[in-house]
Amino acid sequence: MKRVWAALLLTAAALALVLYSGRQPAETGEETEDLIVVGMSQVGAESDWRVANSESMKAVFTEENGYRLLFEDAKQKPENQFSSIRRFIQQQVDYIVVMPVEESGWDSVLQEASAAGIPVIVVDRKVDVQDETLITARVGADFYAEGMEAVRWMEQTYKDPAQLNIIHIQGTHGSTAQIGRTQALEDGLAAHETWNLLTRMDGDFTRAKTYEAMTAYLESCEPLPQIHVVYCENDNEAFGAIQALEAFGYTCGKDAVAVISFDATREALEYCRQGKISLTVECDPLLGPLVEEVIRDMEAGKAPEKERHVKVRAFRQEDITDALLEGRQY
């Protein structure tokens, strides 16, 4: 009987805790602990960048650190994200963290989160909403600035070309990373009469799709074109493009076909050291600690910084050192 009372008392105490803090109790052995519940909707696992980004979140939002993480993978489909967010609202999570697949379509679901009083933190890509107050904070890169690093490199490398033949491989359409990186190249093309866009193709940020698209393009060319630059909107696209180009007899390198990529994962830095990627622009995926700072600020009653950008760096072959490669966590 004593045990029954003890159990009842414990349950009542746990219930009181939930009512008091609005938080869900989590069982950790004998004890009941107050955890901050974070509902997280991730794009998918389309690239090495994305995998590193998810790992960074999972490493920070642990029970040990005081969180219960509800992690959902949208498999690159915006509609999956919208249903995840609605589930999180029903579950009355404390925070919603979203890495959006695309920018559009967010107004109503974020209004629902706001009506439920749940702060929304946008990570990596952006959302395009009428009412900016629906977003508590955004942590991520400035993708246009990244693209401009590449455009400036092209300007410096090809001073006065008679004609510069460029292939552009785009990322997932409608994602901020695609929009910003594409805009930079478009501005470069508009500013230089001799820059000539051979073709633009969709690589969806993946190696496989890019390999297929590049192979299909080269198969359709008779004779094969002279290519100076392949502007890939992420590393994985660059790996696929290089594989296809080499299969058709092209050499990738600064004095042959210069491949440009974004992310600068360790594998891309390796390619860069070998000279197969001529420029890789860094986009830091390790955003977990920055997102946690936002939550910590809010827990302490402070208004978080509304927009936090990670810094942009670009690497060429001569910048790659052993120390850089060894220290690379992704």
**Cβ 142 to ligand GYE, closest distance in Å?**
11
Q: How far apart are alpha carbons 122 and 109 in whole angstroms? A: 13
Q: Does 125 bind ligand GYE (CB under 6 A)?
A: yes
Q: Using an 8 Å Cβ cutoff, are 147 and 184 in contact?
A: yes
Q: Could you check whether the bond before residue 161 is cis, i.e. omega within 30 degrees of 0?
A: no
Comparison of 68 and 207: residue with beta carbon closer to ligand GYE? 207
Q: Using an 8 Å Cβ cutoff, are 241 and 230 in contact?
A: yes
Please identify, among the stretches 7-15, 47-55, 290-298, 307-315, the one whose residues bind ligand GYE according to the rule CB under 6 A: 47-55
Q: 46-84 burial, b for 16+ CB within 10 Å, e for fewer?
A: bbbbbbbbbebbeebbeeeebbbbbebbbebebebbbeb
**Cβ 261 to ligand GYE, closest distance in Å?**
9
Strand partners, 42: 73
Q: What is the DSSP track for 87-103?
A: HHHHTT-SEEEE--SSS
Q: Does 49 bind ligand GYE (CB under 6 A)?
A: yes
- Report how far Cα 132 is from the mean position of its chain's Cα atoms: 21
**Cβ 182 to ligand GYE, closest distance in Å?**
12
Please identify, among the stretches 44-52, 86-94, 185-193, 252-260, the one whose residues bind ligand GYE according to the rule CB under 6 A: 44-52
Q: Does 182 bind ligand GYE (CB under 6 A)?
A: no
Q: Using CB under 6 A, which of 35, 38, 46, 282 touches ligand GYE? A: 46
Q: How far apart are alpha carbons 330 and 326 in whole angstroms? A: 10
**Cβ 131 to ligand GYE, closest distance in Å?**
23
**Cβ 241 to ligand GYE, closest distance in Å?**
14
Q: Does 263 bind ligand GYE (CB under 6 A)?
A: yes
Comparison of 148 and 298: residue with beta carbon closer to ligand GYE? 148
Q: According to CB under 6 A, which residues from 211 to 230 bind ligand GYE?
A: none
Integer angstrom CA distances of residue 188 from 133, 153, 156, 185:
34, 11, 12, 5
Q: Does 50 bind ligand GYE (CB under 6 A)?
A: yes
Q: Does 205 bind ligand GYE (CB under 6 A)?
A: yes
Comparison of 102 and 292: residue with beta carbon closer to ligand GYE? 102
**Hey, what are 188's tokens?**
């470069």
Backbone phi, then psi, for 197, in 5-degree steps?
Answer: -80, 110
Comparison of 14 and 208: residue with beta carbon closer to ligand GYE? 208
Q: Does 271 bind ligand GYE (CB under 6 A)?
A: no
Q: Does 23 bind ligand GYE (CB under 6 A)?
A: no
**Hey, what are 19's tokens?**
């009512």
**Cβ 311 to ligand GYE, closest distance in Å?**
14
Q: Does 57 bind ligand GYE (CB under 6 A)?
A: no
**Cβ 251 to ligand GYE, closest distance in Å?**
25
Q: With CB under 6 A, what is the number of residues at the site for ligand GYE?
A: 13
Closest CA to 188 of 147, 235, 233: 147
Side chain identity at 168, as an amino acid letter? H
Q: Exposed (0-12), middle (13-18) or buried (19+): which is 149, by Cβ within 10 Å?
A: middle
Please identify, among the stretches 9-17, 45-53, 67-75, 296-304, the one whose residues bind ligand GYE according to the rule CB under 6 A: 45-53
Q: Does 262 bind ligand GYE (CB under 6 A)?
A: yes
Q: How far apart are alpha carbons 92 and 268 in whole angstroms? A: 41
Q: Using an 8 Å Cβ cutoff, are 245 and 213 in contact?
A: no
**Cβ 8 to ligand GYE, closest distance in Å?**
50
Q: Using an 8 Å Cβ cutoff, are 153 and 260 in contact?
A: yes
Positions in the binding site for ligand GYE (CB under 6 A): 46-47, 49-50, 124-125, 175, 177, 205, 234, 262-263, 283
